[in-house]
Amino acid sequence: MTYRCLVADDTLIDRDLLIKHLSRIDNIAVVAVCKDGHEAAKVLANEEIDILFSDIDMPFLSGMGLVKSLKYPPAVVFITSHAEYAVEGFNLDVIDFVVKPLSFERFFKAVNKAIEYVELRKSLNGSHPVKQELPTTGKLPQAEYFFIKETNGITKIRYDEVLYIESLGDYSQLFTQTGKHITLVSLKNMEKQLPDHLFKRIHKQYMVNLQHIVTITNNEVQLSDKQTIPISSVCRQEVIDLVVNNKVLSRSAG
């Protein structure tokens, strides 16, 4: 399958680099290249676009403004020099946020994540999803498990089996000890519903099961399955307080 893409960036050099990177990926077709968000909005109104690669700081209509204006946005990957926009960007349920200068390796990862999202959206809801999220008021029942809706039905998952959860825009991907599951519940709503004494959002894209953390470094945590997950500097001390403090063996026994 070929995925139809739109590139929006007001800087010629950055547009050319994006197009060059996209030309190296076989199943990607660049439908349009735009210099600002207003121009991109016109294309999106008339063309079926699977993935939007957009700068944020553009004249006339910013990347943020563009995405907010769309009733049914495609998979969105923000590519920008301004890392401080990351939190606001992920609040819009974008698929990825890539900071310039843009390396092909990092960009290729973002493209694959967007493609995975497009395929998931089509399998669950067709071209335009209607969200079917769990209630966002209150926590899930105090049990040892919860249920999620997947493409093939409803799946029961034990809390202690979950290693971590990754954001896929308005979907989430749960990684467990036995496999992975994708559901139409955003990470933001996962955070509201899962028990906060077990699960902690440690990065704009990731939530982890605190019980599975075995190592904490300056910028990542290692889980019991050896997987490493990035941790933000803001969350690091809080995670240490929750997981480590009062459990560290001291030099003296008192």
Task: Say if residue 141 is exposed, middle or buried (CB neighbours under 10 Å; 0-12, 13-18, 19+).
Answer: exposed
Same domain, 119 and 201: no
Residue 207 lies in a domain: yes
Asked if residue 34 is part of any domain, the answer here is yes
pLDDT at residue 132, as a whole number: 42
Q: Are residues 110 and 196 in the same domain?
A: no
Question: What pLDDT, in 10s, does the model give residues 74-107?
Answer: 999 998 886 665 656 566 778 888 888 889 999 9
Res 107: pLDDT: 93
62 and 118 share a domain?
yes
pLDDT for 249 equals: 55
194 vs 172: CA distance, rounded Å: 13
Give residue 50's pLDDT band: very low, low, confident or very high (50, 70, 90).
very high
Please indicate, yes or no, if residue 109 is contained in any of the structural domains: yes
Of 125, 155, 188, the residue that ends a domain is: 125
What is the secondary structure of 119-145 as a DSSP string?
HHHHHHHSSS----PPP-SSPPPSSSE
Task: Show which of 63, 92, 125 is a domain's final residue.
Answer: 125
Q: What is the tally of structural domains in the chain?
A: 2
200-220 tens-digit pLDDT? 999 988 999 999 999 988 889
* Span 30-38, average pLDDT: 94
CA pair distance 185, 88, nearest whole angstrom: 19
Domain ends where: 92, 125, 158? 125
Domain check: are 150 and 234 in the same one? yes
**Does residue 115 share a domain with residue 63?**
yes
Query: Same domain for 119 and 206?
Result: no
What tokens does 32 get?
Answer: 């349009």
Answer yes or no: is 48 within a domain: yes
One domain, residues 194 and 235: yes
d(CA 254, CA 233): 32
Residue 170 shares a structural domain with residue 232: yes
pLDDT of residue 141: 44
In a domain, 249, yes or no: no
Q: Say if residue 59 is preceded by a cis peptide, omega within 30 of 0.
A: no
Question: For residue 14, what pLDDT band results from cuts at 50, 70 and 90?
Answer: very high
Tokens of 235: 């969350």
**Whole-number Å distance between alpha carbons of 195 and 210:** 11
Q: Is 149 inside any structural domain?
A: yes
- Does the pTM surpass 0.85? The reply is no
Identify whether 196 is part of a domain. yes
Say whether both 41 and 116 belong to one domain: yes
Average pLDDT, stretch 226-237? 88
Structural domain range at position 154? 145-243
**What CATH number is given to the structural domain containing 190?**
2.40.50.1020
Judge if 153 and 96 occupy the same domain.
Answer: no
Query: Which of 21-35, 141-155, 177-191 comes out lowest in average pLDDT?
Result: 141-155
Quick check: is 21 in a domain?
A: yes
- Give whole-number Cα distances, 6 to 33, 34, 44, 68, 78, in Å: 6, 8, 8, 16, 12
CA distance 54 to 148: 32
Task: Compare 134 and 75 and report the one with higher pLDDT.
Answer: 75
Q: Are residues 161 and 117 in the same domain?
A: no
CATH of the domain at 78: 3.40.50.2300
148, 136, 197, 190: which is closest to 168 by C-alpha? 190
Enter the tokens of residue 152: 């093939």
Whether 160 and 77 share a structural domain: no
